[in-house]
Structure 1
Amino acid sequence: MDATVTKRWLLARLYEPEQTIVDCRFTLGKPEAGRESYEQEHIPGAVYLDLEHDLSSPVGEHGGRHPLPDPQVLAARLAKLGIGNGSRIVAYDDESGMNAARLWWLLRYLGHENVFILEGGFSAWKAEKFPVTDHQPVRVPSTFATNIQPQMLADVGEVRLQKASAASSSASPALPVLIDSRAGERYQGKEETLDKKAGHIPGAVNYFWKNTQNEDGSYKSSEQLEEHFAGLDKDAEIIVYCGSGVTACPNILALEKAGYRKVRLYAGSWSDWISYEENPIATGEE
């Protein structure tokens, strides 16, 4: 099954007991807005997970603006919400799926594959006049055991090695491809509103994450995405990053939908890379 589900698919399964719907709405710069929106109205039965409080750990000197949460802390939070290893999770937001994709990636990293993203998000659901409520469900705690998938993750050391090998005359042709998921202006270093330095990791190629979606917020078809990523070798190892490890996740989803299987997330992303003064920075096109 695809990693995304339609509004009508969810409507038909809205009250199935093995399912948990998760509201992931969050607005950068307005950290309370997502929870306030959830408390005002949400899809019936949905619980809320906050990007910064639940799906990230506290910011430190390194690790970027949204460091990955401690797996056991996240597992305990999921269990408290009644999410167990037998649960089917459907996540949504109102930010083109970027926060829902963060939860999708995190759950798979914890070893839980039965997770999906609602195409179009909350506004599209409401526009169809599908049910919404302000009632917050009472959830019976469950048990969530982790099975960490380390092959899904890349750290700054691996990215440095990749860049060092790429600069070497003896570089292997099988080096990982580094993808920057941010908008072209940020990748090129023409503007930067979120991080202290502008530019990109040297050698990275730019595939803006929103270009994987249609205007209605649904993902493009597998065939369209294959065409979008046509410049990439399907057998290549790919490391994906963005500003803080959030919008890289929808790009990872799109790459997998297009048939790429060796895809990893550089979780700290650009905001982690620039926290090391010795790391080089590139601008312009590659």
Structure 2
Amino acid sequence: MKNRILVSALCTVIAAFMLVGCGSNSDSSTSDSKASTSNVKAEAVEQRKVYVTPDWVQSVIDGNQEGYEDYVIAEVGYGDVKDCDSYNEGHVPGAIYVDNCEVEDAIGDVDAPYNLLPASEVEKYLLGHGIDKDTKVILYGADASGTARQAYAYLWAGVEDVKIINGGIDTWKAAGYDTEKEVNKGKTVSDFGTKVPAHPEYWTSMKDAKDKVANDDNFKLVSIRSEDEWLGKTSGYTYMDKAGEPEGAVWGKGPLDPYDMSGYMNDDGTIMTLEEIKADLWSDVDFTTDNDLAFYCGTGWRACIPFLICYEAGYDNVSVYDGGWYEWMLHDENPVQVGDPASADCQHTTVAELPTDKAAAE
């Protein structure tokens, strides 16, 4: 679970210990091994397929996926590897560890509101892990939204093939595959192979979000926040004292709170397909996949899941408004809606006029 106020210092200096773990509650024992007793084969998937099965990943490890000879498997956490319980309890064999702070700032102020890091810094970390644009990257992590954030950033940077183990380490173990405890590191490479970011269109700024809401009828700014956040009852975060949504936003439904993406998940913890989401969550929303969609949330993590779902379904009209509500509320002049915009009770105001008692409880 991510709590940026407690851990932001970790991403700027090496702290003595982590205050927020990235661990899993799953059994840390090594699973009965199919990997050591079988040569796994699985059907090939399209390059843009993001969420993949453990069987497919094991088939890559076993050398049975053509074109996947140069690959990196990585567990995504928040902070230093020594403090990531899930990685140290047992990770996918050969997996390195990558930190969410390698793709986004962790200062949390008006100049650095948890947005993606400058392209040169993201590129530096990628190269340090041995990742260039042609490397096949397979991610997983204890936090589904944090893992999605990393995958989104890698695609934005220009990694052409990024996968996520659907369901993470729990589905990996449930499939009967091995884990290991050795800390692995990638081999540094010197050239990413293209200019970073290769896909700036995946990222929407606050300025562009405001302009498009006002002037582009086909553009929809889609909130991926809880109902209480959407209605302005709470900011959803202990470090945000004002609640509301950017004026003109529409609701994408789903998460129960900032740390729960179960609305976008199946019962087994795997991420839904776009067709499942359309039938379940998006059957009565104020947008369609024909619109130009910019997803946002509080600080950018939750929004990356619907982005990836749409991306893997082949849509190129999607992006993430990276700054989310946090960046929006740092600017007093920004227009705000509080409540359901379809209701006569919806309040239309500015950030400056909002009350400052809407922070979530500790």
Q: 1:197 to 1:44 in 2, by over 3 A?
A: same
Say which of 191, 201, 205 aligns to 2:250. Answer: 205
Letter of the 1:77 partner, please give it: Y
Structure 1 residue 86, shift from structure 2 partner: 2.4
Please give the alpha-carbon distance, in whole angstroms, between the structure 1 residues aligned to 2:289 and 2:128: 39
Unaligned 5+ runs, structure 2: 1-45, 64-68, 256-260, 342-362
Aligned mates of 2:244, 2:72 — CA distance in 1 = 39
- Alignment of 1:177 with 2:177, yes or no, is no
Moved more, 207-216 or 72-81: 207-216
Measured in 1, the distance between the counterparts of 2:211 and 2:160 equals 30
1:70-109 to 2 correspondences below 5 Å: 70-95=118-143, 97-109=144-156
In the alignment, what sits opposite 1:48?
97
Asked whether the 8 Å contact 1:75–1:146 carries over to 2, the reply is no
Aligned-pair CA distance for 1:233: 3.2
* C-alpha distance after superposition, 1:106-154 (max 9, x if no partner): 1111122211111001223234342111112243212323432121111
Q: Deviations over 1:199-251 (max 9, x none)?
A: 21122122225333212122223432333435433332111101101110001
CA 1:237–1:138: 2 relative to 1, 3 Å: closer
| Separation in structure 2 between the aligned mates of residue 100 and residue 80 of structure 1, nearest angstrom | 19
For 1:212, the aligned partner's letter is Y
The residue type paired with residue 198 of structure 1 is A
Contact 1:225–1:254 (Cα < 8 Å) also in 2: no
Match of 2:294 in 1: 239
Partner of 1:265: 320
1:123 is aligned to 2:161:
no
- Quick check: 1:225–1:258 contact (8 Å CA) kept in 2? no
In structure 1, the partner of 2:230 is 187
**Aligned residues of 1:24 and 1:48 also touching (Cα < 8 A):** yes
Give the match for residue 162 of structure 1.
Answer: 212
Q: Determine which structure has more spread, i.e. the larger CA radius of gyration.
A: 2
* C-alpha separation in 1, matches of 2:193 and 2:120: 9
* Structure 1 match to 2:51: 4
Q: Which residue of 2 aligns with 1:169?
A: none
1:271–1:100 distance in 2 versus 1, CA, 3 Å: same
The residue type equivalent to 1:4 in the other structure is Y
Alignment match of 2:202 (pick from 124, 129, 152): 152
CA deviation after TM superposition for structure 1 residue 271, in Å: 0.7
**Structure 1 counterpart of 2:271, from 201, 205, 219:** 219
> Tell me, which stretches of 5 or more residues in structure 1 are unaligned?
166-171
Paired residues of 2:133 and 2:160 also in contact (CA < 8 A)? no
Task: Identify which of structures 1 and 2 has the higher relative contact order when contacts are C-alpha pairs closer than 8 Å and 6+ apart.
Answer: 1
Report how far residue 178 of structure 1 moved.
Answer: 0.8
Q: TM-score, normalised by structure 1?
A: 0.86
Amino acid at match of 1:73: E
How many residues get paired? Answer: 274
Q: How high is the sequence identity, in percent, across the aligned residues? A: 24
Question: Matches of 2:271 and 2:202 in 1, distance apart?
Answer: 21
Gap change, CA 1:58 and 1:224, over 3 Å in 2: closer
Give 3-state SS (helix, strand or coil) of 1:90's partner: strand
| Corresponding residue SS for 1:281 | strand
TM-score normalized by the length of structure 2: 0.69
| Equivalent residues of 1:82, 1:140 under 8 A apart | yes
Q: Cα offset for 1:39?
A: 2.9
Give 3-state SS (helix, strand or coil) of 1:238's partner.
Answer: strand
AA aligned to 2:206 is V
- Give CA-to-partner distance per residue, 1:238-286, whole Å, 9 cap, x none: 1110110111000111233455431111111111111111112222223
The secondary structure found in structure 2 opposite 1:49 is strand
Q: Distance in 1 between matches of 2:93 and 2:265?
A: 26
Distance in 1 (CA, whole Å) between partners of 2:108 and 2:62 is: 40
Alignment partner, residue 22 of structure 2 = none
CA contact (8 A) 1:178 1:203 kept: yes
Alpha carbons 2:213, 2:220 under 8 Å: kept: no
Q: Is the 8 A contact 1:178 1:239 kept in 2?
A: yes
| Among candidates 107, 110, 119, match of residue 59 of structure 1 | 107
Distance in 1 (CA, whole Å) between partners of 2:84 and 2:299 is 21
- Which digits, 9 at most, give the CA deviation of each residue in 1:147-176, with x for residues without a partner? 3212111111112223444xxxxxx533x1
